[in-house]
Structure 1
Amino acid sequence: MLRSRITPVLLIRNNGLVKTVKFKTPKYVGDPLNAVRIFNEKEVDELIVIDIDKSSKNQEPDFGLIERLAIESRMPLCYGGGIKTPEQAQKLVNLGVEKVAVSSAIINESNLVREMSEAVGQQSIVAVLDIKKSGLLKKYRLFTLNGTKEEKRDPFDFALELQSIGIGELLVNSIDQEGTMEGYDNKLNSKMRDMLDVPITFLGGAGSLSDIKDLIERFGPVGAAAGSLFVFKGKYRAVLINYPNQADKYLLYNH
């Protein structure tokens, strides 16, 4: 990764665009295809789309919707949700998706990472680590299925394992900060950045461009991802698809 990327994240449920807070209370915010069209005009670095129902309901990806999104998108597109096989990953890439994001399917099937990498290329496989503090000691724990299932795997050990077997990229998502717009969990992010060499995108908590600037200044070339920041405006969270203009991006990248 030669430079940082600023990446909107869109959550899909029942083919509609929603936004959650700490993985709960999904709020409908519009049509995903319309959001993609607006982000096209704003020259977004890349876009992440995650269907939050597919894995939890044991459903496969909605390939029809994904094809429409990929055709519409003029920016690199990453899709996650319901992906369990190398064949599904290959089909997504054939539809025009550049990166395939996987989470619950690889927790106990790390060999699946190798199989998917062989199918579509290592650089196209993104592992999503949804992490929150849990238990009396508030230790960072790994969760799947929309934060409903706490996994036995230590998130940091698992990240190192994924790196060793050749994951293309990690998406580190703080459930505690997700949708709060109160800033990234940079304690979590710092530990991940210090121990890993693979490209990392951080998600969860960005409430302003200052949060993104701080993230890039702290950790150098990383992916700075956000959901609420790019679909809401103002303290009342009016729905407004937005993204920094070229001048703002220049200031964020060149600190």
Structure 2
Amino acid sequence: MLTKRIIPCLDVKDGKVVKGINFVGLKEVGDPITLAKEYYEQGADELVFLDITATHEQRDTMVQVVQEVASEIYMPFTVGGGLRSIDDIKRMLRAGADKVSLNSAAVKDPNLIAQGAQIFGNQCIVLAVDAKKRDDGSGWNVVIHGGRIDTGMDLLEWVQKGVKLGAGEILLTSMDTDGVKQGYDLEMLEAVRKVVNVPIIASGGCGSLDHFAQVFEKDCADAALAATLFHYGELRVKDVKTYLKQKGIPVRL
């Protein structure tokens, strides 16, 4: 049985790690290089680095910060935010990223997924999707630009298209649960799990050890991403893995 991955996430704005609730009210919580090193030492399986305002502000992800983070850690490292072309992807992989995360740019130009997968391999292309439940409860819509624009696109149709084009993994964030610490959006994760056959990273809403266990026990994700809990020292990666191991969930200690 494949081990489940625990992934801290660094949401970076203006070179600093920040965290908010439902994508707003961002507070500064630390330095990306220091935190990356700390999570590596705690035994994280991977790290996700998202330049969260790069797309909205139409600027490039900070290559220098990515290089510095990559030089401090020895684990898979995914970078996203503001990547709009094959050249952008190439630059991030050269800077030390193992994978790139495509979100708004992929919605605007789905061919970017196909081109990226063809040139760099499916394993390098992570389709990041932010989704919000429709008011009538009939499903979820894809939102872009850091939660600012509702595309009206159906989540399940979009993830299937993304995988068909070559995305090797899906990073799925629920806007409804993000930063609220009431647990992952299991309903949404289960719905996506049923329609795609690539690994899913659950994101948005983790607030306790039990929430990590729930997402794996229900088998609706292959990895669990968290930010707030780790940044504020409420939990350490090692604590999470020890707890999951005790619950019989396979993890790499």
How many angstroms apart in 2 are the aligned matches of 1:165 and 1:88? 19
Spell out the pairing of 1:65-214 with structure 2 (5 A cutoff). 65-137=65-137, 139-214=139-214
Give SS of 1:244's match.
Answer: helix
How many angstroms apart in 2 are the aligned matches of 1:12 and 1:154? 28
How many angstroms apart in 2 are the aligned matches of 1:195 and 1:41? 36
CA-to-aligned-CA distance 1:82-104 (integer Å, 9 cap, x gap): 00111111121122111100101
Give SS of 2:84's match.
Answer: coil
How many angstroms apart in 2 are the aligned matches of 1:220 and 1:162? 18
- TM-superposed CA distance for 1:73, in Å, is 1.7
- TM-superposed CA distance for 1:176, in Å, is 0.8
Contact 1:169–1:198 under 8 Å retained in 2:
yes
Unaligned 5+ segments in structure 1 are 235-240
Q: Identify if the C-alpha distance between structure 1 residues 254 and 199 changes in structure 2 by more than 3 Å, giving closer, same or farther.
A: closer
For residue 238 of structure 2, the aligned residue among 217, 225, 244 is 244
- TM-superposed CA distance for 1:74, in Å, is 1.9
- TM-superposed CA distance for 1:232, in Å, is 2.2
- TM-superposed CA distance for 1:136, in Å, is 4.6
- TM-superposed CA distance for 1:47, in Å, is 0.6
Aligned AA for 2:204? Answer: G
Unaligned 5+ segments in structure 2 are none
Contact 2:11–2:52 under 8 Å retained in 1:
yes
Say what the alpha-carbon RMSD is for the aligned residues.
1.9
Percent identity (aligned): 27
Contact 2:3–2:250 under 8 Å retained in 1:
no
Contact 2:207–2:229 under 8 Å retained in 1:
yes
Q: Identify if the C-alpha distance between structure 1 residues 221 and 4 changes in structure 2 by more than 3 Å, giving closer, same or farther.
A: farther
Aligned AA for 1:130? Answer: D
- TM-superposed CA distance for 1:5, in Å, is 0.6
Q: Identify if the C-alpha distance between structure 1 residues 32 and 145 changes in structure 2 by more than 3 Å, giving closer, same or farther.
A: same
Contact 1:102–1:126 under 8 Å retained in 2:
yes
- TM-superposed CA distance for 1:109, in Å, is 1.4
Contact 1:231–1:242 under 8 Å retained in 2:
no
- Structure 2 length-normalised TM: 0.92
Give SS of 1:153's match.
Answer: strand
Contact 2:186–2:220 under 8 Å retained in 1:
no
CA-to-aligned-CA distance 1:92-129 (integer Å, 9 cap, x gap): 11221111001011113111111111222110100111
How many angstroms apart in 2 are the aligned matches of 1:36 and 1:137? 38
How many angstroms apart in 1 are the aligned matches of 2:25 and 2:79? 22
- TM-superposed CA distance for 1:226, in Å, is 1.1
- TM-superposed CA distance for 1:154, in Å, is 1.0
Contact 1:93–1:120 under 8 Å retained in 2:
no
Give SS of 2:238's match.
Answer: coil
How many angstroms apart in 1 are the aligned matches of 2:16 and 2:138? 34
Aligned AA for 1:197? Answer: N
**Which residue is 1:19 aligned to?**
19
How many angstroms apart in 1 are the aligned matches of 2:86 and 2:59? 16
Q: Identify if the C-alpha distance between structure 1 residues 28 and 153 changes in structure 2 by more than 3 Å, giving closer, same or farther.
A: same
2:219 pairs with 1:224: no
CA-to-aligned-CA distance 1:183-211 (integer Å, 9 cap, x gap): 11111011011111111111011111111
Contact 1:132–1:143 under 8 Å retained in 2:
yes
- TM-superposed CA distance for 1:159, in Å, is 0.6
**Which residue is 1:38 aligned to?**
38
- TM-superposed CA distance for 1:64, in Å, is 1.0
Count of aligned residue pairs for this structure pair: 249
Give SS of 2:176's match.
Answer: coil
**Which residue is 1:237 aligned to?**
none
